[in-house]
Amino acid sequence: MDKTLDVTNLFPGTQVYKWTIEKKIAQGDFNFIYMCNGSSNMSNYKQFALKCESAQSPLQMLKVEAFVLQTIAKRGSRHFCDIEDIGKFQGIHYIVMHMIGRALVDYMKTSMSGAISVNCALSVGIQLIEALEDLHNCGFIHRDLKPSNICFGRKDRNELGKLYLLSFGISRRYLDSKNQMRKPRDNVEFRGTVRYASLNCHQLQELNRKDDLESAFYVIVEMITGQLPWKGLPDGAAVARVKQQSRHPSAIALFLRAPCPMEELREVMILIDSYNYFTAPDYVNICNILRRAMRRSPQPEHPYDWEQGGTNSLGDV
Spatial neighbors of 177 by CB under 8 A, at least 6 apart, are none
Which pairing describes strands 47-54 and 31-37: parallel, antiparallel, or unpaired?
A: antiparallel
For all residues of the chain together, what is the average pLDDT?
93
Q: 129 and 64, same structural domain?
A: no
Average pLDDT over residues 134-142: 97
Domain carrying residue 20: 15-98
* Residue 1 pLDDT exceeds 50: no
313 pLDDT tier (thresholds 50, 70, 90): low
Q: Cα dihedral sign for 310, 217, 114, 109?
A: negative
pLDDT (mean) for 189-208: 96
Per-residue model confidence (pLDDT) at position 58:
84
Length of the chain measured in residues? 317
Report, as an integer, the average pLDDT of 278-291: 98
Give the pLDDT of residue 291: 97
Q: Which of 164, 151, 152, 148 is nearest to 196 (CA)?
A: 148
Are 113 and 87 members of one domain?
Answer: no
Residue 47's domain is classified under what CATH number? 3.30.200.20
Residue 308 lies in a domain: no
Does residue 57 belong to any structural domain of this protein? yes
Residues 73 and 38 in one domain: yes
Same domain, yes or no: 19 and 43: yes
- Label residue 314 by pLDDT band (50, 70, 90): low
Strand order in the sheet with 31-37: 15-16, 19-27, 31-37, 47-54, 92-98, 83-89
70 and 218 inside one domain: no
pLDDT at position 43: 78
Angle at CA of residue 295, ends 289 and 298, nearest 5°: 140
8 in any annotated domain: no
Q: For the residues 236-247, what does the mean pLDDT come to?
A: 97
Residue 39 has pLDDT above 90, yes or no: no
Average pLDDT over residues 102-127: 94
Q: Is the link from the previous residue into 259 a cis peptide, with omega within 30 of 0? A: yes
Q: Which helix (H) or strand (E) holds 69?
A: helix 61-75
pLDDT reading at 269 higher than 90: yes
Q: Are residues 164 and 35 in the same domain?
A: no
| pLDDT above 90: residue 111 | no
The domain spanning residue 176 has which CATH number? 1.10.510.10
Task: Check residue 184 and give its pLDDT.
Answer: 96
The answer to whether the predicted template modeling score (pTM) of the entire model surpasses 0.85 is: yes
pLDDT at 35 over 50: yes
Name the residues annotated as catalytic.
144
pLDDT over 90 at 298, yes or no = no
- What is the total count of domains within the chain? 2
- The verdict on 92 and 110 lying in the same domain is no
Residue 50 pLDDT > 60: yes
Q: Provide the pLDDT for residue 121.
A: 97
Residues 114 and 94 both lie in one domain: no
